[in-house]
Amino acid sequence: MKTTSRLFKALADETRLRILSLLMEGELCVCNLMEVLRLPQSTVSRHLAYLKNAGWVDDRREGVWMYYSINRKGSDFHDGMFHFLKRHLASLPVSAADRKSLAAFEENNKCA
Amino acid sequence: MKTTSRLFKALADETRLRILSLLMEGELCVCNLMEVLRLPQSTVSRHLAYLKNAGWVDDRREGVWMYYSINRKGSDFHDGMFHFLKRHLASLPVSAADRKSLAAFEENNKCA
DNA sequence: TGACTATATCCGTTTATGCGGATATAGTTT
DNA sequence: AAACTATATCCGCATAAACGGATATAGTCA
């Protein structure tokens, strides 16, 4: 039960929900997230560490960049919640706006 | 999005999850919850107010007693999450123990 | 009305969480 | 190795939550 509440705590923050929503499109590196969220790097990294710790995301190093993605190897709880969240978050205005600004940034690939 | 994170915050606490799990069996009054959770009345009432505020539970007065139940008139989000939670929480040891001690209390109806 | 009971709310204290600049780490390039 | 870049972690501060005893409220019964 304590574990369950910890998993929910990770979802109980607007920034982290925005991050998850963005990652549902595919993996992203920290710099992409910084740009879209317009938050300092330490803040973004902290939230990512929180999400990783709770098993929501996975990371992968590629040279100097860290790519984060939704963790597909989580528990049934993770899977079910992820599926549920995907539909819900997609319908929110903030998600749409974030996706849009992500697309703009990716076009001229500022990060690489 | 802020709304969504608020809804998750309400679930991000072990005591509140235990309360929800108990209410999934049916409505209960505050005194029942106090007994099962072994927590002071102010603490239980506070958590119930929190859950009600987030739309997770509903209340009903019957004389001097307040009966709380899962709110069935919530949003799609509430409904979906409730359905998901029901299966998950049921499988946790704490839930089983709480249900057991609730049954014991209800047998000699201490509250009424 | 007054005593009693169940519950809600208040308040001061403690604990947890978020923040972001500063610093540390790790990989890359020269 | 030295300079550079991306990311992680540290640290002090500010805000928010949880706690539970004390008090207020609302209903009941005599």
Decide if A89 and B4 are in contact by the 8 Å CB cutoff: yes
Class of domain B2-99: mainly alpha
B chain contacts of residue A12, beta-carbon cutoff 8 Å: 5, 8-9, 11-12
A62 Cβ neighbours under 8 A, 6+ residues apart: none
Tens-binned pLDDT, residue by residue, of chain A (112 aa): 999 999 999 999 999 999 999 999 999 999 999 999 999 999 999 999 999 999 999 999 999 999 999 999 989 999 999 999 999 999 999 999 999 999 998 776 656 5
User: From the candidates B3, B4, B16, which should be mutated to test the interface with A, based on the most A CB atoms within 10 A?
Assistant: B4
Residue B98 neighbours by CB distance under 10 Å: 21
Cβ B53 to strand D below 7 Å:
no
Given a cut of 90, is residue B106 above it in pLDDT? no
Instruction: Give burial (CB, 10 Å; 0-12/13-18/19+) of A81.
Output: buried
Is B18 an 8 Å CB contact of chain A? yes
| Contact assessment for residue A56 and residue A86, using Cβ atoms and an 8 Å cutoff | no
Per-residue pLDDT, A74: 87
**What is the residue extent of each domain of chain B?**
2-99
Is A88 an 8 Å CB contact of chain B? yes
* A-B C-beta contacts closer than 8 Å: 60
Residues of A (2-61) placing their beta carbon closer than 7 angstroms to any atom of strand C are 9, 12-13, 15-16, 39-43, 46-47, 50, 61
ipTM above 0.90?
Answer: yes
d(CA B58, CA B72): 8
Per-residue pLDDT, B108: 67
Decide if A92 and B5 are in contact by the 8 Å CB cutoff: no
B chain contacts of residue A36, beta-carbon cutoff 8 Å: none
Per-residue pLDDT, B105: 85
Least Cα distance to A26 among A49, A57, A55 occurs for: A57
Quick one: CA dihedral B12, B18, B23, B28, positive or negative?
negative
CATH topology of domain A2-102: Arc Repressor Mutant, subunit A (1.10.10)
Q: Which two tokens stand for residue A54?
A: 């709770």
d(CA A14, CA A93): 13
Per-residue pLDDT, B81: 97
Per-residue pLDDT, A106: 78
Sheet holding A57-62, edge to edge: A28-29, A65-70, A57-62
Is A80 an 8 Å CB contact of chain B? yes
Q: Which residue has the tokens 């990652």?
A: A23
Tell me the per-residue pLDDT of B59-98, one tens digit each, with 9 for 90 and over: 999 999 999 999 999 899 999 999 999 999 999 999 999 9
Given a cut of 70, is residue B110 above it in pLDDT? no
